[in-house]
Every structure is written in structure tokens, then in C-alpha cells.
Structure 1
Amino acid sequence: MTGGAGRSGAGHRGTGALFGRLPLDLGPLFDTLAEQRPSVNVRLGRPLDLAPERGTEYDTGQVAELVRETAAWLVAAGAGPGSSVAVVKRNHWDYVLLACAAARIGAVPALLSDRVPPDGLAALLRRLRPDVLVTQRDVLGGARAAGVELTALAGRTVCLDGPAEGALAVDELRGGPVPAVRGRGEDEPLAVIHTSGTTGVPKLVVHSTRTLIRRLSAFEARPWPVLSVRRADTVASAVSFAHGRALTWTVSAFWRAPRTVVLLPDSDPSTAAALLRSHPPTVMEALPSSYVRWQALAEPAAGSTGSAGSNPFRDVRLFISTFDAVHPPTVRTFLDATRRRHPLWMQGWGQSETGPLSFRFLTRGALTGPAGRHPTTRDLGRPVPGWVRVKVADPARPGRTVPPGETGMLYARTGALCLGYLGEPERWGRKLDRGWFNTGDLGVRTRDGRVLVLDREVDMVPGMSCVEIEDVLHERLPDVEEAVLLSVADGRPQPVLVTADGGLDPARWRDAVRDLPPLAEPLVVGWDAVPRTATGKVRRHELRARVLAGSAGIGTGQWT
């Protein structure tokens, strides 16, 4: 499982030196939790695809039993120490449980979203060469309809929801003995995840126990003020469970032993409302796109005409968003929806390769006042002291740091840096400069050390920030659910606006852009017309091909 992944020195002390060692190994994780944290209740938005007959309620002991049983049938399927187990299925928390089961037997899980197009999945599986592929019939059928035979790209394919051509049904493999836990070195590959793939086929990111668990999960599992989960909390998560964040979050959140953990596999507002009203969260983490879809549910707790019980966010003390930009009106809506006197919104900036790099806490007061040109959520705070270093460098001369206030390429140095890109060592090498990782983001460092992220380099427009303009459009056009600004090499930037009915009053548009840089006339579409990644990000490359066929962007894209 090396595939061209190579470790870069991070220049940090080990996590053990900082915190001591927590028993958070991924393979036996739920055995440990069942013994030391047995009181956590798990509530699911729908039954797990891994065990649909077991319903939607678990405790940690029942989860541990399911992981052990899964490890047994993975062995029966041919997985074992050093082998690769690829998982491609509908979004749900059982991605994490399959990863735990694979890690338990010494295999390396590779978590691939079913939102990756069939040709992209084929490219990833060719890099992985998995011994076992765990999937579902609709994934196989959809790929086959597109001319891609996924079963030919794995040693053996196991289908979770019944028999399929070229695949074993999981029921054929059940009943074997529970295998022993296999250990691995701290710096050996533990899991493979993929990047968002907004600009094409995703990269396969290889993480180790040290980078993913010791460095990220252990940090979050400690009792930090405000940030940490508490015993009385009801913690809800609605993310892409194929993403590395789902692994690190599961480890740290369950170790903190909240009263209830609520897991939502999709962002459908009606499904989310029913579960969250039954178990009102005190800590809520979701994709930015999910927050957008849920705004209608987040009626203000005070002065609302509806009943207090109809607002599922009434008791949230901490909202968390990662993965992508969140615009000010969305943050404001949710902070106003809770009855808590001083709720916080924590916005993080990071990447699959690095984990979180900086945080910023937003309050109600931070988002009040008249709307203006300047963004309120582009300021992503300061890197964690002693944990992450960030510099802004000249893209043409990475060794030259630009002065505070000037735009440049953002580089990061962290002990959580992944081992590399599976199968793409040259690409990984281009992203590193003497231990500094090129994030591909353009930004600014202020004189007091805050990080302002302007755009991905591939999406840039000279002299402006597309993300800032998108913020302004959301502020001035509240009924726009998504605003995307596409750079155009030979013309004005092209706005693509998502509204509920696919329409927008031209007069309101003209008023909204009255003092903005010249933009093309907007293309107004419905939500489903915009292609998205598993984490809800807009696939800008694909969107450009749909709406601006033949048009090129401005950025080089060489650091994506």
C-alpha cells in the first residue's frame, strides 16, 4: 500500500509528548468504547446499509459487536493484513464501521464516495488495486450503465444489499470466527481517503495512525474549553462519512462520551427535521450545503409564530462547519435560531491532506450591522499555536514569503500532514517545498496573524475574490441558495445562481451588483442543476463544462 506515498518531515513534537497516549486505535476502537464509554446512545436517520435489520438505535456495545462481525466476513472475503479494502456505497456512518473492521484485521480501508462519477471511480480503483471491494447493487449498476465494470477492478467484490453480477452477497460470508486484532506501526498506512474532486478525478490521500488518530483525533478528544463535547451533550453530525473527518470525529466524539450521538446520512430537510426534533442537538456539525438546505427549519426561537418544539436547533450551543465556505446569512440564521444566550459558530479551514489548519469562532455580534462589501466569513482565524504554521508565499517563488496584507499562495506545516498521494508520487512532490505543503489556496495574512482565504488558485480572478463576491450576493439576495462565480479567461466572471424556482427578478439583480466589479448576466438554475461532491462542494470544473462549454478559467490549476 505504498503506491508512491512518501512522508515529509513536519518539524513537530509527537502527539504523545504533547498529550500522553489515549487508547484510540481505530481497529479495536469500539471494543475500548464499550468497556470505557458504554453509556453513549446512537440514533440514526435510517438503518445502516451494513445491517439494515438492526434498526436505528445502538449503544457502543452493539456497535462493537457489529464491527467484530464485519471483520469476520471481510476475512472470509479475502481481506487480511496488508490488503486493501475499498468501500463505495450510499452515504452513511457505516463507512466508519467498515473502516474500523478493516483496520481491526490489519487491512487498509479506502473510503470512496458513490458521488464520484463512474469514470473517476474506475481511476481510483486502478490506483488502489483493492483485494476486496465493498459496495451496493445500484453503484455497480450505475457504473455498468456508464460502461465501467467496477468488479473487474478488485480481487473480489462484496455487495451489501444482495447478489449482483460479478459480486458475492454479504450473507454468503457471514458466520465466521471473529478475527484477532492486528496491530500496525504508527507510521504505516492506516486509511485512504479521497479529496473532494472539484476540479476532476480526486486524489487518494494516505494517512497513518500518527497523522489521523494521534495527531487529529487525540487533539479533539482532550477537554478544551467551548470546543469539547460534554457528557450532557447531544451531538449531531451530518457530513460525508466517506471523508476522513468522519473517522477523526467518530474517535474523538465517542471518547468524550456524550449522552446521545445523532447521525444523519443525508441532508433531506424532512428526514433531518424528524430526527433532530426527536433529539435536539446541543452540538451540530454539518456540511455547508446541508445548513443551506435546512435554513427554513431554523426559525428563530424567540418571536417565532411556530411552536418552540418545531425548531430542532433551539438548544444548540455550538455549530461547526468545515469542508467549504459558509455565507454570512446562513450563519446568522442558525445563531438566531437557538435559545442559548451565547451560541458559537466554529468555522474551520483545512484539507484532506492536513486536517484542520485554523479556526474562527463567530458570534451573533460578529455578524450584525449593515451589509457591506467586505466578507465576514472569509476571515478564518489563526493557526493553532504550536500545532500548525501557515505562510503566504509568492506562487512563482515559494521560498519568498510575501509581506502581511499581500496576496499569495497559502502553505502549511503540520504534524498531521498525510503520507502522500497513492499512485501519484510526482504530484505529491510538486505540492511540497521543504516540508511546507502547498494548499492551492490564495490568501492573505494580516499583521496580527489571521488567515484570509480568497479563492482556490484554479478559480481565481485577478484583482478580486470570487468568494467575497459570492458572500455579498448571498447577503443581498436572501432567496439565492447558492451563488457560484466562475472565472472566464476572455470575458467577465460568470455568476451561476441557484434559487428554489429557478428564477430571479432582473431588477433585484441589478441592484445587488450596483457597486461590484463587472459581471456577466447571471445564469439562474435549480438546486439539482449544480453538480456537487460528496461534501456538498460545487464541482466547478463540471459546472463550467455544462454552462460555459469551450470557455477556460484563469488560474493554472497546477497545485490542485
Structure 2
Amino acid sequence: MSATLSLAAVLAESARKYPEKIAVVDGPQRVTYRRLWHEALTVAAALRELGVRPGDRVALQIPNVVDFPRAYYGALAQGAVVVPVHLLLTADEAAYTLKDSGARLLVCHPSQAAMGAAAAEAAGIPVVAPADLLGAEPLRSYASRAPEDPAVILYTSGTTGEPKGAVLTHLNLVMNSMVNVFDANDARTEDVVLGCLPLFHTFGQTVGMNGAFRLGATLVMLARFTGEAALDLMTREHVTVFHGVPTMYVALLAAAEGRADLPRLRLCISGGAALPVAVLERFNAAFATNIFEGYGLSETSPTATTNQPHFGTRAGTVGHPVWGVEVEIARPEIEERIELLPAGELGEIVIRGHNVFAGYLNRPDDTAQGIVDGWFRSGDLGTKDEDGFVTIVDRKKDIVIRGGFNVYPREVEEALARHPGVVQVAVIGVPHPVHGEEICAVVVADPDANLTADALIEWSKERLGRHKYPREVRFAESLPLGPSHKVLKRELRRSIGRPPV
């Protein structure tokens, strides 16, 4: 008999060990582990009645409310593969996710009903509300799965303009729930964790939710993050652990000015983008705590490295690899094989271990380019010093990270190029004090179109997700081109004020 492993066991085991402990706080709701697991098994039974079989894909379009873990673990308990849908997408973009993943149905929260219905109709699949899945007789236990079976498909722009489904296995995600950045930094059962990172995103889902549930901690949901709302909630619920992207730390610092009732945070984790050392130092001083910065990608489940007390911490670095994972620096110009560089040299960060995904869904060529000689090529440039500390220097490609979300310029360019007044367009990231980077479109316009920046921004809002449309538009007579007639984005960054890559 082959070995079995299910990500559903993360919740099932904590329900067995800590049945009366509060698993989730969602506004006035306080849901115990016993109740949450019972409801997940009820959802599993309802999905089975709807024809969902082990291996089928179930899409979730749900914000940070208790319905997300109910549906997430319910789908896993039935042996289905979870496909989280990014909540900032347009209906057409969401429909692409549904069709490309082969989702059998969409579980959609009422707050997303209009967009979810449009996306599901375009994909030709049924849509169901989470509340409609709570009437069945619960399953006795969760379905048996193999460690290598897919558990979750996360859509990421990666290094091409068209989103790709990164297939993460039960082994990937169970292991990452046990050794991620939270666990590596002295996680405790009595911790109370703020769940403000989007659960459809790999950081919030694996490090926040799965990490907390695997431990038996309490997850306090915050569906819409602001600095003020987060401080109020953390103080009221006695939150001890905060996971966030750099923009969230900036917002918390701003909200903390002149405020005496700050939460007592035992542990803070930063990821998703590089955290400025100045922000780290100001935050640690204001909140009398320590931020531990980590690094990872959707394709690595996500955690690959983190600053860890065991090895010592170093501001400005992302620390050391987590248990069972190797992180090295390779020559970026050699694509067909991995050639590792000595300590201190700049190159491409490559990763191997239990956290590396199974590949891109139905994209063998992309998978072969991403995983070479057993190493995942991150596309990020960095160094590893003699003490083993990894530092992220820049991105190999042109991905823009806005507020912790990856935005690929080509996808934005494709949309803007459809405007009748746009002759040519290049999209880059420019520095932003809150979001880290902002989307900037440099446009060569038709002189007869009388196109304005405000008009193009409004037009793009209807065609791109809220995290993707450009907030800045610059007009130019021409774009700088190289010998092969490719746009020299390095020159654009230099002219607009961002240091070249």
C-alpha cells in the first residue's frame, strides 16, 4: 500500500488535540477547532453530493472570513484540489483562472457574487455560496491522498505575461506548514495570529492560516487591511504574531504615531517584497518587537529562507534556508544547467527541497525552464555570504511588486495597447513610499487622439485588476530601443528616476 498524506490533516489533527480552543475569530464569531473541522467535513460531503470527486478542482473566491478555511479544508477533505481566485481580478481575468485550471465549480462568497457569477458563466461552471454547503451530513474523515498529489493550484504571472497555475502538492504544503518562517521563529500554540494577508495568496494561506492551524494557534481574521483597523483589532484580540508585507509595516507605523495603546507583538514576519532596513528598525523600536524577514515564491510553497534565532539574524537579509531546503546562487546567464557560484558572488537564487512545486499546470516547457537539474530558478538575483545569509539584490525579470502582489508588465501592456489612442506602451515599476512600487505606463500616443493620463487610467480600470492598472502615465515621443528593437526598460527607469536593474 502506498503512503498517504493530506493537507486536510493540518486542521484534523488540531481539532483532535485542541477541540475547544478557538481556531478562528471573525468579527463576533469565535469558532473552535472542533466546530471548524466539523463544518469542513460538512462542506466536503456537500461537494461530493454536487459531483466533486477526488482530484477535481474546486475554485474559491472568498475574502478573509471564516468561510475561507471552511471551504478550503472542506475541498481538501473531499480530496479535491483547491484553486484560490485572486479577489482583485476582473471577471474576464477570473474566468481565465477557472478555465485554465479546469475548475469543476466555484465557491463564491456573497461579497463577490456579481463578479463570481460572471466569471463562472464565462467558464461554463456552476457557482455556489459557502452557506449552501453546510446542510449535508458530514463525512466521517478526509479522503486519502498521495504525498505527490496536487493539493492547491496558485496562479502566478511568474516570468511570462500569461498567468500560470503553480501546482503544489500535499507534501509541499504540509511540510511548509511545519517549517515555514513562522515555525522557524519560535511559533507557539498560545499565539494569536492576525490574518490580514489575503488567504488567496501563498503567504497568507500557508504561513498565516496553515501555519497557525498546524500549531493550534488562533487566527484573527481581518478582511480589509488598514493600519488603524489592524492596530484596533490586534489590541482588542491580544494578537501576538503579525505577518505582513512591507507596505503593511509602513501603514502600521503611520497609524501608530501619537497612539499609546499599541499591541504587544511577540513576533513579526515580513515577506512578499524587500523590507527597507529603515522601516524594520523604526518598527522594532516603536513596537518593542523584532521583525524576521523571509523569502519565498508561490512555486516554493512559499517559504524558502528566513532569519532565524538559531543562526542569528541580520537586517537587510532574508536569513538562512528553512529545514530540508537548499538555497544557492547560480550563474544567471547559463539556462540549460545549474552552475553554482562561490560565496559572495551575485547571481540567480536557486532552490531545491520539499518546498519546490510539481510544475506549471499543463505547461511542460515552462516547467522545464523553471526547474533545471532539480533546482528551481527563482528569477531573482541575490548573494549568499560566508555565514550563509541570503540577500535579495533585484529581480532578474521585470516583474513589478505592488503592495506584495506580483504584476507582470506585459499583461498590462497588452491591455493598454488595445486603446485606440495608444501607439506604443511600456510598463515599468517606479518607487512608491506605501506600495513599494507603483505601476507606471510610458505611452507613445496618437497625436490626433488627445489622450490624457486620467482618461487612460480610467479606461484601464475596466480591463485590469485593481492591483494591475497603472496609477501613473507618462507620455513620450518615442521609446528607447536596443539593437534588436526591444524596448530598453533600463533606460526608462533611469529617465523616470528608478535605478536601472
Q: TM-score, normalised by structure 1?
A: 0.67
Question: Matches of residues 140-289 of structure 1 in structure 2 within 5 Å?
Answer: 141-142=114-115, 149-160=119-130, 170-171=131-132, 174-180=134-140, 181-195=142-156, 200-213=161-174, 215-220=175-180, 227-249=185-207, 250-258=209-217, 260-289=218-247
- How far off is 1:350 after superposition? 0.9
* 1:413 and 2:356 matched: no
1:44–1:264 CA contact under 8 A, matched in 2: no
Describe the superposition over 1:197-242 as per-residue Cα deviations: whole angstroms up to 9, x where unpaired: 69744321111111111x2123359986xx1322443332321201
Q: Which amino acid aligns with 1:82?
A: G
User: How far, CA to CA, are the matches of 1:237 and 1:59 in structure 2?
Assistant: 16
1:393–1:410 CA contact under 8 A, matched in 2: no
* 1:423 and 2:383 matched: no
User: How far, CA to CA, are the matches of 1:239 and 1:58 in structure 2?
Assistant: 20
1:91–1:113 CA contact under 8 A, matched in 2: no
- How far off is 1:285 after superposition? 1.2
Please say which of residues 545-554 and 35-44 is displaced more in the overlay: 545-554
Cα gap change, 1:407/1:219 in structure 2, threshold over 3 Å: closer, same or farther?
A: closer
Question: Matches of residues 283-432 of structure 1 in structure 2 within 5 Å?
Answer: 283-299=241-257, 306-307=259-260, 310-312=261-263, 315-339=264-288, 343-354=289-300, 355-360=302-307, 377=316, 379-384=317-322, 387-397=325-335, 398-432=337-371
Please say which of residues 98-107 and 269-278 is displaced more in the overlay: 269-278
1:140–1:150 CA contact under 8 A, matched in 2: no
2:8 to 1, 5, 27: 27
Instruction: Give structure 1 stretches of 5+ with no counterpart.
Output: 1-20, 47-54, 161-169, 300-304, 368-375, 461-465, 471-483, 501-522, 556-560
Question: Matches of residues 505-520 of structure 1 in structure 2 within 5 Å?
Answer: none
1:443–1:451 CA contact under 8 A, matched in 2: yes
> Aligned residue for 1:372?
none
2:43–2:71 CA contact under 8 A, matched in 1: yes
Aligned partner of residue 135 in structure 2, secondary structure:
coil
Describe the superposition over 1:308-364 as per-residue Cα deviations: whole angstroms up to 9, x where unpaired: xx212xx2121101212222232223211234xxx32111111111132221259xx
2:338–2:375 CA contact under 8 A, matched in 1: no
> Aligned residue for 2:105?
132
> Aligned residue for 1:74?
47
- How far off is 1:455 after superposition? 1.4
User: How far, CA to CA, are the matches of 1:281 and 1:530 in structure 2?
Assistant: 39
User: How far, CA to CA, are the matches of 1:496 and 1:324 in structure 2?
Assistant: 13
User: How far, CA to CA, are the matches of 1:137 and 1:282 in structure 2?
Assistant: 31
User: How far, CA to CA, are the matches of 1:453 and 1:138 in structure 2?
Assistant: 37
Aligned partner of residue 339 in structure 2, secondary structure:
strand
* 1:63 and 2:36 matched: yes
Cα gap change, 1:158/1:434 in structure 2, threshold over 3 Å: closer, same or farther?
A: same
Question: Matches of residues 424-503 of structure 1 in structure 2 within 5 Å?
Answer: 424-459=363-398, 495-498=430-433
Higher relative contact order (CA 8 A, sep 6+): 1
Cα gap change, 1:88/1:547 in structure 2, threshold over 3 Å: closer, same or farther?
A: farther
- How far off is 1:419 after superposition? 0.8
Cα gap change, 1:89/1:306 in structure 2, threshold over 3 Å: closer, same or farther?
A: closer
Aligned partner of residue 443 in structure 1, secondary structure:
strand
> Aligned residue for 1:15?
none
1:97 to 66, 70, 74: 70
* 1:107 and 2:80 matched: yes
Q: Which amino acid aligns with 2:72?
A: A
Q: Which amino acid aligns with 2:274?
A: A
What is the aligned length? 437
1:392–1:445 CA contact under 8 A, matched in 2: no
> Aligned residue for 1:503?
none
Q: CA RMSD in A?
A: 4.3
1:410–1:443 CA contact under 8 A, matched in 2: yes
Q: Which amino acid aligns with 1:419?
A: A
Cα gap change, 1:154/1:324 in structure 2, threshold over 3 Å: closer, same or farther?
A: farther
Cα gap change, 1:204/1:386 in structure 2, threshold over 3 Å: closer, same or farther?
A: closer
User: How far, CA to CA, are the matches of 2:204 and 2:432 in structure 1?
Assistant: 30
Give the percent of matched residue pairs that are identical in Structure 1 and Structure 2: 24
2:251–2:434 CA contact under 8 A, matched in 1: no
Describe the superposition over 1:509-533 as per-residue Cα deviations: whole angstroms up to 9, x where unpaired: xxxxxxxxxxxxxx9xxxx9999xx
User: How far, CA to CA, are the matches of 2:89 and 2:70 in structure 1?
Assistant: 21
2:23–2:219 CA contact under 8 A, matched in 1: yes
- How far off is 1:403 after superposition? 4.3
2:42–2:134 CA contact under 8 A, matched in 1: yes
